[in-house]
Structure 1
Amino acid sequence: MQAGPSILTVTYPVRPDQQGAFHAWLAKLNQTASAAPGFLGMGFNTRQERATEIECTITYKFNTEGERDAWISSAARVKAQAAGSGLLTSAPHETLGVVEGGARSLMVARAHVSPDRESDWCAAQARFQTAVLNFPGFDGVDVFKPRIGSDVWTTVLSFRTEEDMRRWEESPERWALLDEIAIARQDDVIATPGAYGQWFSADASVFANAPTWKQAMLALLVLFPLVTVYDMTLGNAAGAGLKVGGHLVFGGLGLPFPFVVFLGNVVGTILLTWLLMPTVIRAFDWWLNPFATAEQTLRGTVLLVIGYAVEVAAAIFIYQTWGF
């Protein structure tokens, strides 16, 4: 099973005297990526170790390997790549991979764009992204197209620290660029560090900026039954064994209590990361969405509270009935 969205990382060795031309060319190349099926976003980093060249690394993120590879071999990209060869000191280096790990500090913006203005908005968005690429602390941008029947475009900007994000949010560069996207009605802008990064990065368009209190509530829904079941089964098997109603059901390994706790953490981490949390997150995507309506938020919260009550009642019943 693929760990996450597929990425292409390209390092361009840029001639120092061609930086301006390179960024203009890069904006055109990025437009071919943003128009490609399955495109999720991109990240940018630059460094200069030698006076003769500047290394610019671009990471393109796609929903699947097939969609990523289709863009890599597309005529639009091949043509755009060839046009920029004179700006480089040598051929670019490319690496394929998948996204792993969680979010840092994120800014999410939602905009309503009428269908007849989408091309204008995308062009303005490309200019906006070109500007933020060079902003200190910027780590990546994801642009999510509207779902069927919707006109809402979602943009997620990622920064290395919350301070970097706040500086961009208050910068004159950002406010000046927002005027260029005035063709769209900017409804919401949310900025937050992701508290449960890896668990909630399965679908960045929904979970990258899920409110922290919602993340905590969902984690609790999974953690309580996981710990309870472990204590009844593997915990007893590794420790002193299991007794039901005072009668020994099976003897344990007699391992020291700290080791039993450590084993529980190992098992819990594996199950949470690769099985339980991704499953529950998909089930509650409508509630975790940072743009969920008040009705959705209330309905999901009530469901979780009911879930807590059922879990606790079931645990009490089991303990009282069988006398663990």
Structure 2
Amino acid sequence: MSASANRGRGGAGATVVTSQKVAPGREEDYKRWQERVNRAVRVFDGFEGTELYPPDSADDNQWVVVFRFSDVDRLSAWLGSAARRQLLDDGHDLFEGEPSQEVLHGGQPAQEAVTAVVSHTVRPGREQDFERWQDKVLKAQQKYPGFMGSELFAPVEGIQDRWVVVFRFDTREHLDQWLQSDVRRKLLDEGRDSVADYDVREIASAFSGWFRFGEGEQAGVPPNWKQAMSVLLALYPTVMVLNLTVGRGLTHADVPGYLGLFISNVLSVAILTWLLMPLVVNRALAFWLAPDRPRSRRTDLAGAAVVAVCYAALLVVFGFTV
């Protein structure tokens, strides 16, 4: 995939990314509080969706929430509303320290593969130096494996004065390779003249668009290993059935192999996106997949066992069919 760099200053869409460290032992209280926030924001004009990203580990306990609005004015109305201020007051004791947030005006949704959101406090009068430095960072990023694109968001007047950079990699391993690289550390040292401080947060989900729980929103995503197992459970029978039906029909019709494969891929993606994942897999495995359900090792093992049994059953069925 080709790398890209965009200036996220135009466009109608507006997004706020909030990072908040939940106090130990208050995770369930936080989830209930966050659901109250989700219900409150739905009634505001221009609201388009929200995502909740749980931490990768209990030690981190840093939760990331993304709210999307149709434009920055409607987002500003939510951020400055009395309803939100009351909710923040009600949930104040759930957090360690103050939550941080970045407002992104325009650009692409910060939700592809593994995404890092980096906010910068730029020294007054050094904005052009900062942009030139960011161009240098982008050129270095483009040389790293898995880099998918980067966007630079200027401050939003009246809401925040920090610059925000959103960049994406295809896997967490590739993102970490960049974040921990000597090249990046050297660039950070070079940028200290124009940047007073910065903060990094990661948003990770490999198949997040296929895992939606709740009405009109994505209330979070399950761990990547559950996503991969679930996608395979839906993908394998889809591909097999298409090969046995559409694939044979295209072969008999002398359709070229490359074109037949493209048609089959289009059909399989459509079936997974609008049929099998939302209507079958997510519902049948909600006890195991839904992020807001209580998690335990027993539940994780039970869900994995159910999926493994389904794998075996599918192999037996198609073994007799082919």
Task: Confirm or deny a common fold (TM above 0.5).
Answer: no
Q: Which structure would you say has the larger Rg?
A: 1
TM-score normalized with structure 2 length:
0.43
Indicate the structure whose relative CO is greater, using CA pairs within 8 Å and at least 6 residues apart: 2
